[in-house]
Amino acid sequence: MKYTHIDQTFIDNLPTPTDKIKAEYRADNLPKGFRIEIRKTSKGIGTYRFRTKVKDHNLGRTNALSLEQALQQAAQLIPSPTPPHIPLSPPIAQASPTCTFTLNEFWEQYYWPHIKTRLRTCRNIESMWRIRIQPTFGHQRLDDIKVLELERFQTSLIEMQLSGSHVTGHIKLLSRMFTLAIQWELITKNPCDKVEYMKFDNQKERFLSSDEQTRFISVLMEHPERPVNLLMIFLLVTGVRSGVAKSLRWSWINMEKQIITVPPSIAKNKKQNTIFLNTTAMDILKRLAGINPTYVFINPMTQLPYNDFKKSFKTALKAAQISDSVRIHDLRHTFCSNLVSNNVSLASVQQLANHACYSTTLRYAKVSQDTLREACQIAAIQI
């Protein structure tokens, strides 16, 4: 609230607000930015405040300072005007610092030590760097790499017929390296900002049909003593991600409650996930109990968790007469599809698959063509 004039008498009888939490009083005879603030609960005692360009200053309470003393303190906070500076000669442009690091030196001294203890995907990143990025850009200085070179590099990856996600993954890795180099004040710009990323459709939805699932399981159960066979069936009936299944420990499993609690360090969404176990999954766990005290799925050759079982997966697909274009992750797709095809709500599918957002469930949980044909037949009429 602004008044024409405020004096010590006003301060001594400071109005206390009754209809709001606090009130502020200004006046034309007081400096700009100077005000008296009082709260509903302060019983007539307010606070002198003075706002400058730098800070909002608390000068003191009205029962401890007079108005004149508060104005003297405020005057000391007002900066004295400085005369304009007239340069004697035009300023000399400062050249931006030149980075002497090659991309290879930056990787070895800065980037790789930074990510190898932070990212679970560091092995994939190291592979992209070693196979394609290092031979192309490793010898160049960071600030010498141009946008045109990056565009041509992306074109070469496309001509190698790499997947769209793999192509953009290389550019995103380079962009992240440049971003950190800027953050660490080694360079001043990121050339990847001007690169036009390849556009691609990465929404691959491949579900095993009922017949394909039957043949696939029949092939795997020809050798039920093989842990890798049980691992693949486990993926199909639980929808768990293969990385979680390969790392699965007995300490995560509660056989009585029939659940698995995946720790945040392993879960993709960095949150503790709960996986519910059906009778098939429980049967698989009982078959594997006692083989290893720590891990559930153990490679008999190495006595360690499986590092990769793509070869066994492709062999099983071939024996089941299923296209080799099917990926291990498609077992998770099939799990979600089976739930939706059997009228399980999408909200339940989201929780069972541990999807972070509902849109992911809509993408993965596509119903099978057989279900769509049956649904379409409902609209048929006899003519």
The residues with which 23 forms a beta bridge, in sequence order, are 38
- Rounded to an integer, the average pLDDT of 129-141 is 93
On the CB side of 113, how many CA atoms lie within 13 Å of its CA?
6
What is the enclosing helix (H) or strand (E) of 25? Answer: strand 22-27
Give the integer Cα–Cα distance in Å for 11 and 173. 64
pLDDT tens for each residue of 232-255 = 999 999 999 999 999 999 999 999
Does 103-194 match 2-77 at the fold level?
A: no
Query: Closest Cα to residue 112, out of 89, 128, 135, 91?
Result: 128
Residue 83 pLDDT level (bands cut at 50, 70, 90): low
pLDDT tens digits, one per residue of 140-178 = 999 899 999 999 999 999 999 888 888 999 999 999 999
Maximum mean pLDDT: which of 1-5, 281-285, 298-302:
281-285
Fold of 103-194: DNA polymerase; domain 1 (1.10.150)
210-376 — its CATH code? 1.10.443.10
Does the domain spanning 2-77 belong to CATH 3.30.160?
Answer: yes
Is the model's pTM score more than 0.85?
no
Query: Checking DSSP bridges between strand 22-27 and strand 2-3, what pairing results, if any?
Result: parallel
CA distances from 28 to 31, 33, 57, 334 (A): 8, 11, 20, 75
Cα angle for residues 229, 317, 336 (degrees, 5° grid): 75
The total number of residues shown for the chain amounts to 383
Phi, psi of 109 (to 5 degrees): -90, -25
What are the structural domain ranges in the chain?
A: 2-77, 103-194, 210-376
What pLDDT is attached to residue 94? 47
pLDDT tier, 382 (very low <50, low <70, confident <90, very high otherwise):
confident
Contact predicate 260/248, CB 8 Å: yes
